[in-house]
Amino acid sequence: MCGIVGYIGPREAYPILIKGLHRLEYRGYDSAGVALINNSGTLSIYKAKGKVQQLEEFSQQKDISGTIGIAHTRWATHGEPNYQNAHPHFSMSESIALIHNGIIENYAVLKEALIKKGFEFRSNTDTEVLVHLIDFIKREENTDLCRAIQLALQQGEGEFFLASDATPIVEYTKEVVYLNDNEVAIIERGKELRVVDFMNSEKSHKIQHLELTISQLERGEYEHFMLKEIFEQPRTIRDCMRGRINIEGNNVVLSGVLDNTEKFKNARRIIIVACGTSWHAALIGEHLIESLCRIPVEVEYASEFRYRNPVIYEDDIVIAISQSGETADTLAAVELSRSKGAFIYGICNAVGSSIPRNTNSGSYIHVGPEIGVASTKAFTGQVTVLAMLALTIAKVKETISQKELEGFVAELSQIPDKIEKILEKSDKIKKFSRIFTYAKNFIYLGRGFSYPAALEGALKLKEISYIHAEGYPAAEMKHGPIALIDSDMPVVVIATKNNLYEKVVSNIQEIKARNGRVIAIVTEGDTQVSKLADFCIEVPDTHEYLDPLLSVIPLQLLAYHIAVTKGRDVDQPRNLAKSVTVE
Ligand code: G6P
C-alpha cells in the first residue's frame, strides 16, 4: 500500500522521483506528492490529488530543483483521497517533510495529546501525527532526527536510493539492502549506510544483488500491463519450471521440499494461508496436496486465521502464498504460526520481500514483476509451484507411482504450449465480450479443480470491470444462485472434460431452462456443451489436476476485454492496490 521513493546524491532528484512514482503507482494512486530541498536549502512540498500525472502537471511551473527529495503515491487509509491528505506532510515549522507507508494504530491518542500541546492539523492522516510527534520529540529532547522509514538501498559511488521495492531504482543500481521490522536505515551524504534498531544498536546488513531488468517493467507493445502479463504466461510458467522439471529424467526437483524431506514426511497437516488471488491458488493447492500426498490440508484467509486463535501444532507445515510477499495479514499469519513452532514454507514472487525473509524454506515462482493490479501470471505461477510441490512431496512420501509421476511431468511441461494456443483466441473473446458489457451481475461455476478457477474468474471480472460477479461450486447453484437466473444473467461455466463433466452439463441445462446466457469453457472437440451454450471457448485437454492452469486463461481475457470495452482503468482499478501492506 502506498509507494515511497527517495533520493540523495549529485543528480537532480525530481525526475528520479517522478519516474519512480510512476513505477510504484500500482501500490496506490489516490494522490501523489514530492518534497525537495533545493540548493539554497529550502524545503518545498508539491502534491496533487489523483495520479502522478496530475502531480507532474501541478509542479510544471514550480521550483523543482534540488538533489535531495522524497516522494509518495497514496492508497488512502486515514482520510479521503484529497490534496490535504496527500503526502508528504510538513511539521508545523515546515522543517521536516514526511512520507510514510503503513498504519500508526495509536494515532488517535497521539493526535489528541499533540492537539493539547498546541499542534494544529491540516489533514486527517496518521502520517501528519507522526511528523508532528517527531518534531515535538526533536525539540523537547534536543536530539537528532532519526525516524527513518522502510527500505534502504546503496550504490557504491556515494549515493543512496530508498524505495518500497526495487522497481524505481533498478536502472541506477543492482545492489539492495532489505530492512527488517524495527530497523532504521540512516543514509547521509558521503557516509556509509548504517542500520540500527530502535535502541540505536548497530545491526548487520547484507547487500543483495538484483536480478530485475528494466524491460520487465515496461509495457512494450501492449495496451495494458495486464494484457502483457496474460500473454507472458507461457514464458513465465516455463521460467517457473526451469531447473525444477526434468522432462528427460521424468523428474520434479523442488529444492525447498527436498532440503526438508523429514518435515514433509512427518507433517501432521498442512495449513495454507493467503489472500485474494493467492487464496484461490491455495484452494487448488489443497486439492493437489490432498490427492497426491494424502496429507490433510486446510486453506485459510490469512486475515481470519491470524485473529482466530487457531490450533497450530509443531508438526504442522504452514504454507504462505503471496505474490508481493508483503501482504500484512499473510505476514502476520506467518509470524503467528512461527511463534507456535510450525514449519513455514513461502511461495512468493517478489524476491527478498518480507514473507520469504520470515519463512523456514520456500519456492519463488519466478514470473517477474507483476504490475497490473489484477493478478494473472502470479496465479498461474503459484499453481505451477503448488503442482511441483505436491509432486515432490508425493515422491518423497511414495504416495505416487513412477508412472503417474512421469505422466504429470509430461503434462506439466506441455502447459506453456497449450496456453499459447488459448491466447490465440483473444480476439474471438474480445468480440463476444462486447455483448456482455451491459450485465450488472455474472455467475461463475465450476466443480472440483475448476471451482477455484471459477472463483478467480469472478474476482478478475469484479476487480477490473466493477461488474458484480460471484463464483460458486456448480452443484451449489440450486441452493440459492439459481433464483437469480433470467435472460439477463450471464453464467460462465467451466465444463472441461473430467469425472464431473456430466453433472456440469446438467447444470448448464438447468441454466438454459431458465433462459440464462451461458459462456462455457470446454475441452477441445466437445460437442455436447457447444449445443447448449451461447458461447464456447475451447481449451486443450490436460490432466484434470492441471486444468485450472488452462481454464483460467480465457477467464482472464474475458474480464480484460469486458473492462476495456467499458473504458475502465484496467491496470489501476479504483479502490484497489497491488501490495496490501495494511490490514
Ligand atoms: C491485493 C491484490 C490482489 C492479490 C492480493 C494478495 O488484493 O490486488 O491481486 O491477490 O492482494 O496479494 P499477495 O501479494 O499476497 O498475493
Give the H/E segment covering residue 197. Answer: strand 194-197
Whether ligand 1 lies within 6 angstroms of the CB of 580 is answered as: yes
Whether ligand 1 lies within 6 angstroms of the CB of 380 is answered as: no
User: Which backbone phi and psi does 68 adopt, to 5 degrees?
Assistant: -130, 130
Q: Which grid cell is 529?
A: 456443451
Amino acid of residue 338 = R
Q: Which grid cell is 180?
A: 527488517
Choose the residue to mutate in 25, 29, 323 for probing ligand 1, maximizing ligand atoms within 8 Å of C-beta: 323
CB 15 within 8 A of CB 66: no
From residue 529, give the alpha-carbon distance in Å to each of 421, 430, 478, 525. Answer: 20, 21, 19, 10
H runs (alpha helix) in 170-309: 225-231, 233-241, 255-258, 261-265, 276-293, 302-305
Distance CA 307, CA 275 (A): 14
Expressed in angstroms and rounded, the spacing between residue 323 Cα and the centre of ligand 1 is 7
Distance CA 523, CA 496 (A): 5
Choose the residue to mutate in 348, 580, 581 for probing ligand 1, maximizing ligand atoms within 8 Å of C-beta: 580
CB 238 within 8 A of CB 365: no
Q: Which grid cell is 555?
A: 477467464
Expressed in angstroms and rounded, the spacing between residue 460 Cα and the centre of ligand 1 is 12
pTM of the entire predicted model: 0.81
Amino acid of residue 502 = E
**3-state DSSP assignment of residue 478:** helix
Per-residue pLDDT of the chain (583 residues), as tens digits, is 688 999 999 999 999 999 999 998 888 888 999 999 998 899 999 999 999 998 988 888 888 889 999 999 988 888 888 899 999 999 888 888 999 887 776 677 778 888 998 999 999 998 998 888 888 887 777 777 764 333 222 337 567 888 888 888 887 777 888 888 788 898 887 677 889 988 888 888 888 877 777 777 888 889 999 999 999 999 999 999 999 998 777 889 999 999 999 999 999 999 999 999 999 999 999 999 999 999 999 999 999 999 999 999 999 999 999 999 999 999 999 999 999 999 999 999 998 899 999 999 999 999 999 999 999 999 999 999 999 999 999 999 999 999 999 999 999 999 999 999 999 999 999 999 999 988 999 999 999 999 999 999 999 999 999 999 999 999 999 899 899 999 999 999 999 999 899 999 999 999 999 999 999 999 999 999 999 999 999 999 999 999 999 999 999 999 999 999 999 999 999 999 888 887 7
Whether ligand 1 lies within 6 angstroms of the CB of 572 is answered as: no
Q: Whose CA is nearest to atom 2 of ligand 1?
A: 578
For residue 355, the ligand 1 atom closest to its alpha carbon is: 15
CB 366 within 8 A of CB 387: no
Cell 465444463 maps to which residue? 495
Whether ligand 1 lies within 6 angstroms of the CB of 576 is answered as: yes
Q: Which grid cell is 371?
A: 504490475
CB 237 within 8 A of CB 382: no
CB 241 within 8 A of CB 233: no
Whether ligand 1 lies within 6 angstroms of the CB of 578 is answered as: yes
Residue 10 burial (10 A CB sphere; 0-12, 13-18, 19+): exposed
Distance CA 493, CA 527 (A): 15
